């Protein structure tokens, strides 16, 4: 088969798959997003648990390094997914217009229409994200004993992501509570550098947590 034929077949298959996804209902897209994110969480935690078990068995420096790296990746994935589903849960609890995206394969799974939704609905959606990150920190504290550098990194990263989220999102939430227009306040938050400050403060806090926990 020639390269041109192969390219044509690949393009046809990709377009067919994309068209199939576009025809899915909102509920079907929700199920697809839940499946994809569920598998991502399972894979991330399984890889870290395997690396952590390797540390227990061998105690080598390489095993510890792999455990730390896998913990960083797993915690980052968990924090992103929990945060997005927290926003989504808040939006749906407030009965916001928040349709699933056409192809919910990445982190972002839904849209929020500022013209169709109220400030109250925005607040519900906004607060859901940080609350989900708080829940994740609590779950890690309860379910993962901090016994080595890898487990300490898992805790450190979820704490780091929580701090980052709070620094960025809480000021926006407070301004909207005081009467600010949601879309304008969000744009202000994106432009004033609070996102970058949140990341710096978050990872500084995470590093401190890791050092204290190791």
Which tens digits make up the pLDDT trace of 93-122? 999 999 999 888 788 999 999 999 999 999
- Assigned token pair, 147: 């016994």
Residue scoring higher pLDDT (21 or 59): 59
pTM of the full structure: 0.87
Rounded CA-CA distance 2/86 in Å is 48
What does the pLDDT read at residue 8? 45
CB neighbour list of residue 194: distance below 8 Å, 6 or more residues apart? 167, 168, 171
At 19, the pLDDT band (50, 70, 90 cuts) reads low
Residue 2 has pLDDT above 70, yes or no: no
What does the pLDDT read at residue 103? 84
Strand partners, 110: 100
Q: What is the mean pLDDT of residues 110-138?
A: 97
Residue 156 has pLDDT above 50, yes or no: yes
What does the pLDDT read at residue 21? 56
212 class by beta-carbon count within 10 Å (0-12 exposed, 13-18 middle, 19+ buried): exposed
Terminus-to-terminus CA distance in the chain, angstroms? 56
Q: How many CB atoms are closer than 10 A to CB 77?
A: 20
Rounded CA-CA distance 97/130 in Å is 20
């Amino acid at each position: 088969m020639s390269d041109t034929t192969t390219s044509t077949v690949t393009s046809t298959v990709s377009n067919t798959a994309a068209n199939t996804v576009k025809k899915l209902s909102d509920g079907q897209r929700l199920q697809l997003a839940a499946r994809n994110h569920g598998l991502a969480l399972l894979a991330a935690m399984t890889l870290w648990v395997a690396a952590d078990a390797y540390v227990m068995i061998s105690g080598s420096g390489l095993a510890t390094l792999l455990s730390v790296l896998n913990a960083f990746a797993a915690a980052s994935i968990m924090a992103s997914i929990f945060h997005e589903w927290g926003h989504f849960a808040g939006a749906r609890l407030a009965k916001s217009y928040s349709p699933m995206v056409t192809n919910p394969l990445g982190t972002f799974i839904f849209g929020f229409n500022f013209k169709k939704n109220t400030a109250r609905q925005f607040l519900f959606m906004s607060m859901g994200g940080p609350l989900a990150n708080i829940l994740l920190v609590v779950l890690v504290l309860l379910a993962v004993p901090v016994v080595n550098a890898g487990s300490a990194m898992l805790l450190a990263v979820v704490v780091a992501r929580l701090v980052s989220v709070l620094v960025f999102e809480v000021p926006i939430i407070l301004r909207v509570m005081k009467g600010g227009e949601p879309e304008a306040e969000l744009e202000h938050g994106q432009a004033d550098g609070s996102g970058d400050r949140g990341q710096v403060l978050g990872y500084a806090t995470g590093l401190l947590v890791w050092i204290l926990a190791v």
